[in-house]
Amino acid sequence: MNKVMSNKWIIALYVLPALLLIGILIFIPLILTGYYGLMDWDGVGAMEFIGLDNYIAALQDLKFWDSAWHSFLLAIFSTLSLGIYLAISLILASKIKGADLLRKIYLIPMLLSSVAIAQLWIKVYNPSNGMLNYLLMAIGVENPPAWLADTSIVLYAIFIPILWQYAGFYILIYYAALKNIPESIIEAARIDGASPFQIAYRIKLPLIMSVVKVTIVLAVVGSLKYFDLIYVMTGGGPNGASEVMASYMYKLAFTSKDFGYGSAIGFLLLIITLIVTVIVRKATATKEEIQY
């Protein structure tokens, strides 16, 4: 078997199917999207080459920058909430009673489809019949906000289910990483007289730092290209108040029938995400890798 695996041709042959799939489904469409961005095209009729006009228009499009700002806000909130997930994982991993059950409960939102989550939270947020406003009125709030209709609140109201949706995923990752830390290290620290807080902060956290970095990248990238809940819950409304880059792209391409412009926005979204990823990776880079 070793002989087989050291044959470069065999390796190439094994990689080929996956490479073909990725090429056809990801890289070629990526390049095509950039190319369509150079066109004036309604998605149905003939294309007309217009150079960089779409990209220039996008850079001057206030609605695009608004949606980009909303995406960045989501990225910031997702990153901040990682701290909460980390705290929860630390508690879960410290052998408390029922940790197993709790871990499964935290994971449930991740098992639901985005549309189901969206429908659930639409019901929760319903201004007249929703659970949230019902509770607020029960404790004496007279005019509870219309969560998804108020342009100053709607964005944050949607962030909550988005963060809730992914909480289980990050908790699961952190929990697995924490469980991987050898018991002997913790024990040694304990014998040396370290408090639980010191163990968490000085021992466990540095040891799983590489995982934390990965989750930061995942959270940022995932937020920048986020689409599902926003599309179902508000469609980017009212009047663009909850529009993010991906929903704006979809709207331009499929509703306004401006495929060229939509493609340009899509390509810009890719570039922005790439740049941010590089920045995040640079910012979190450290020289030493901790081995255990």
Q: Which residues bind another protein (CB under 8 A)?
A: 1, 3-4, 10, 13-14, 16-17, 20-21, 24, 42-46, 122, 125-129, 146-151, 154, 234-235, 237-240, 251, 254-258
> CB-wise, 126 or 284, nearer to another protein?
126
Nearest to 266 by CA among 276, 253, 275, 255: 253
169, 174, 175, 176 alpha-carbon torsion, rounded to 10°: 90
Q: Give the list of residues 6+ apart from residue 8 with CB closer than 8 angstroms, or none.
A: none
Answer whether 78's CB lies under 8 Å from 224's CB.
no
Q: How far apart are CA 80 and CA 103, in angstroms?
A: 21
By C-alpha distance, which of 73, 38, 72 is closest to 262?
38
Distance CA 250, CA 111 (A): 25
Q: Are 57 and 51 in contact (CB under 8 A)?
A: no
CB of 111 to another protein, least distance (A): 24
290: left (phi over 0), alpha (psi -120 to 50) or beta: beta
Min. distance of Cβ 165 from another protein in angstroms? 19
Q: How far is the CB of 123 from another protein (least distance, A)?
A: 9
Residue 129: strand, helix, or coil: coil
CB of 213 to another protein, least distance (A): 34
Give helix 99-111 / helix 62-93 axis angle, nearest 10°: 160
> Looking at beta carbons only, is 143 or 184 nearer to another protein?
143
Tell me whether residue 145 or residue 222 sits nearer to another protein (CB atom). Answer: 145
In one-letter notation, the amino acid at residue 173 is: I
Coil, strand, or helix at residue 249? helix
> Of 151 and 210, which CB lies nearer to another protein in the complex structure?
151
Minimum CB separation of residue 30 from another protein in Å reads 18
User: Of the two residues 4 and 285, which places its CB atom closer to another protein in the complex?
Assistant: 4
Which residues are 40's β-sheet partners? 48
CB nearer to another protein: pick between 20 and 87 = 20
Task: Kindly state the DSSP code that residue 168 receives in the 8-state scheme.
Answer: H
Supply the minimum distance, in Å, between the C-beta of residue 64 and another protein.
Answer: 14
Task: Mention every residue, 6+ apart, whose C-beta is less than 8 A from residue 3.
Answer: none
Between 130 and 168, name the residue whose CB sits nearer to another protein. Answer: 130
Nearest distance from C-beta of residue 260 to another protein, angstroms: 12
Could you tell me the smallest distance in angstroms from the CB atom of residue 133 to another protein?
Answer: 9
- C-beta closer to another protein: residue 152 or 184: 152
